[in-house]
Amino acid sequence: QLPTGLYKKVLVILHDSILPYMNEPTLMIDFLTVAYGIGGAISLLALNGLFILIHQHNLEYPDFYKKLYSLLDPSVYHVKYRARFFHLLDLFLSSSHLPAYLVAAFLKRLARLALTAPPEALLMVLPFICNLFRRHPACRVLVHRPDGPRDMSEDPYVMEEEEPSESRALESCLWEIQTLQNHYHPEVAQAAAVLNRSLSEMEDDISGLLELSAYELFDKEVKKKAADVPLEFEQIRGLFGKKNDIFAQHFALD
């Protein structure tokens, strides 16, 4: 058992400063699987090392996607390791052999959590969701279901279910994205509206959005050049704007 702070310090550097220099990286399997099961930021940081062991050293982790699914909680859009997590989540969900129910569960959970996410996270996760639809066309039923639920009370999706296969995500629809189309931030509303149109085959590059911060978003808005806003479209002709205004006979605008 290690202190939480020490776990984080080790896991941050494990994938690039320790594993590549070990003769037998598989010796770290037990350590990483235990860390992955702890939860929270420690689980997020353990993903990097597990990714290397799974892809390069044939590690089999039967409940890997179930645990990955459980890591999606409201804090995932706020933690400072968000960029690292979504980069790896993108890799783990890139295989075209994943079952539709699994991808649909991730899509639905990401969309539900997006309802309370900050704008900088939404501008990253909405293109991420679009990319998942491009890779897994069988999940597009979540968008093209006109008779689907209109709000949370009618939604068959079970948010509290830990097993993705039993979450009933494929029976639902992404009404959350329609909600985000009315977001107060215009760029978020525009990004959410992309799903109303046919998606292009080319995936969006989200690498530049993974580390987008609230400060950068605010700075971008401040530096925008505002167009001249007309205050009057028609020249006023009377006190109340009417051509034959009786008040104009008694009051002058000069």
Residue 164 lies in a domain: yes
Residue 135 lies in a domain: yes
Residue 237 confidence class, pLDDT cut points 50, 70, 90: low
| Residues contacting residue 26 through CB under 8 Å, at least 6 positions apart | 53, 57, 59
Counted domains in the chain: 1
Residue 9 lies in a domain: no
- Sign of the Cα torsion 28, 6, 209, 36 reads positive
- Tell me the C-alpha distance between 176 and 114, whole Å: 8
Residue 238 confidence class, pLDDT cut points 50, 70, 90: low
Q: How far is CA 169 from CA 31, 50, 130, 141, in A?
A: 33, 27, 17, 11
Does residue 88 or residue 227 have the better pLDDT? 88
pLDDT tens for 199-236 read 888 888 888 888 788 888 888 888 877 777 666 666 66
- pLDDT of residue 36 exceeding 90, the answer is no
Residue 110 lies in a domain: yes
Residue 230 lies in a domain: no
- pLDDT of residue 151 exceeding 70, the answer is no
Does residue 194 or residue 4 have the better pLDDT? 194
Whether residue 35 contacts residue 14, with contact meaning beta carbons closer than 8 Å, is answered with no
Six token digits for residue 19: 């594993």
162: containing domain: 97-146+154-221
Q: How far is CA 98 from CA 65, 94, 132, 245, in A?
A: 10, 8, 11, 71
Of the chain, the percentage scoring pLDDT greater than 70 comes to 89
Residue 215 lies in a domain: yes
